[in-house]
């Protein structure tokens, strides 16, 4: 009797296990199918942009309304990159891309140094008013950036007189300070054990030396996160540079970043859809590369900073 009962229990356990396995497979199948469908929905505009960037107006007109719109035209490999050549050479978009890269590089360095030092002081030192300053940092994070554009414009143009070539500083300096980045640095630095600093001070290191030689090297994830956000922010900046940078005359080097030029390209007489899409691809590739390279560090940075949130 006991053997029959044991076999019955074992058989029922196997059936339950099989049902659980089938249920798990069904859930995973639905999950992955839904994920793929949603990914394709979000990727369709990018796929269309990439496919269209290598086609002429005649080809686009012939493929209108068909699935071929979303596929590259491999039948004309020799002319596939003509749109890119014209955008880069004839429209000079490479100059504006170089401007954006320069602005981004300077802003990244300043953000890491300025905001990093601010975060280091807030995380590792006690001083009068620290609580109030922490509250202001949290409060300013939720204040929309748009509310400060007009006062900031008055400061850089009227008070600091950053006009003409000096208007480049009007693009860089406001972007060099970010309360959100300070907050990220604070949260990450608080997770670094104080014993490291104490050991460094016993060796005679000062605060600045500890910060640059020990704290920053230990903070690669949050540094990469801040650098990525700074790059994306500067690269995608559009309204503020248009407000503060001067218009370039004939034969002069334009100080506008790449996003400001993308809008003007659409207004050029005779510009084709393929050329517009090619310029959009050029503007999108650096962001894609930076994010893919720094993705691992971004996850680590937010994971470590989130421990104290």
Residue 123: is its pLDDT beyond 70? yes
**Percent of the chain beyond pLDDT 70?**
91
Query: Does the pLDDT value for residue 87 go beyond 70?
Result: yes
pLDDT(183) > 80:
yes
Task: Let me know: does 177 contact 114? Beta carbons within 8 Å.
Answer: yes
Average pLDDT over residues 187-213: 85
Whether pLDDT at 82 is above 50: yes
Band of pLDDT at residue 10, cut at 50, 70 and 90? low
Report percent pLDDT > 90 for the chain.
Answer: 14
Cα–Cα distances in Å, from 130 out to 41, 70, 207, 305, 306?
A: 47, 56, 18, 19, 21
- Which band of pLDDT confidence, cut at 50, 70 and 90, is reported for residue 182? very high
What pTM, to 2 d.p., does this model score?
A: 0.82
User: pLDDT band for position 110 (50/70/90)?
Assistant: very high
At residue 100, the pLDDT reads 93
User: Band of the pLDDT at 109, cuts 50, 70, 90?
Assistant: very high
- Under CATH, what is the fold of the domain 87-308? MetI-like fold (1.10.3720)
In angstroms, the CA 220 to CA 208 distance is 17
118-122, 131-135, 267-271, 283-287: the lowest-pLDDT one: 267-271
- Burial label, 50 (beta-carbon count in 10 A; 0-12, 13-18, 19+): middle
197 contact partners, CB below 8 Å, separation of at least 6: 124, 210, 214, 215
Mean pLDDT of 106-113: 94
Query: pLDDT at position 69, please?
Result: 78
Average pLDDT of every residue of the chain: 83
Beta carbons within 8 Å of 100's beta carbon, 6+ residues apart: 234, 235, 257, 258, 259
Model confidence over 224-245: pLDDT tens digits? 889 998 999 999 988 899 888 8
pLDDT at position 108, please?
95
pLDDT, residue 3, reads: 59
What is the C-alpha to C-alpha distance for residues 119 and 158, in angstroms, rounded to an integer? Answer: 31
Q: Where are the domains of the chain?
A: 2-84, 87-308
pLDDT number for residue 12? 66
Report which of 191, 228, 226, 192 is spatially closest to residue 210, judged by C-alpha positions: 192
Check residues 308 and 293 and name the one with the higher pLDDT: 293
Whether the per-residue pLDDT at 207 is higher than 70: the answer is: yes
């Amino acid at each position: 009797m006991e053997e029959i009962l044991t076999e019955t229990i074992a058989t029922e356990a196997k059936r339950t296990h099989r049902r659980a396995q089938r249920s798990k497979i069904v859930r995973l199948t639905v999950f992955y199918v839904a994920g793929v469908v949603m990914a394709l929905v979000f990727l369709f505009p990018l796929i269309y942009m990439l496919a269209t960037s290598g086609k002429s107006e005649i080809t686009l007109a012939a493929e209108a309304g068909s699935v071929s719109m979303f596929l590259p035209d491999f039948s004309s490999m020799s002319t596939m990159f003509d749109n890119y050549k014209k955008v880069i050479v004839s429209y000079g978009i490479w100059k504006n891309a170089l401007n954006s890269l320069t602005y981004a590089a300077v802003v990244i360095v300043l953000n890491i140094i300025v905001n990093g030092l601010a975060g280091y002081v807030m995380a590792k030192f006690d001083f009068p008013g620290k609580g109030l300053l922490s509250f202001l940092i949290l409060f300013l994070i939720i204040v929309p950036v748009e509310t400060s554009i007009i006062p900031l414009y008055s400061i850089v143009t009227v008070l600091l007189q950053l006009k003409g070539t000096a208007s480049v500083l009007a693009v860089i300096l406001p972007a060099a300070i970010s309360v959100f980045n300070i907050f990220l640095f604070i949260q990450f630095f608080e997770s670094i054990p104080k014993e490291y600093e104490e050991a460094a001070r016993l060796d005679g290191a000062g605060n600045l030396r500890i910060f640059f030689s020990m704290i920053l090297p230990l903070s690669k994830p949050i540094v990469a996160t801040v650098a990525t956000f700074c790059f994306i922010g500067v690269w995608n900046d559009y309204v503020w540079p248009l407000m503060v940078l001067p218009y370039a005359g004939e034969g002069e080097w334009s100080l506008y970043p790449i996003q400001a030029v993308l809008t003007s390209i659409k207004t050029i007489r005779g510009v084709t859809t393929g050329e517009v899409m090619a310029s959009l691809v050029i503007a999108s590739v650096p962001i894609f590369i930076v994010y893919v390279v720094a993705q691992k560090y971004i996850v680590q940075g937010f994971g470590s900073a989130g421990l104290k949130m």
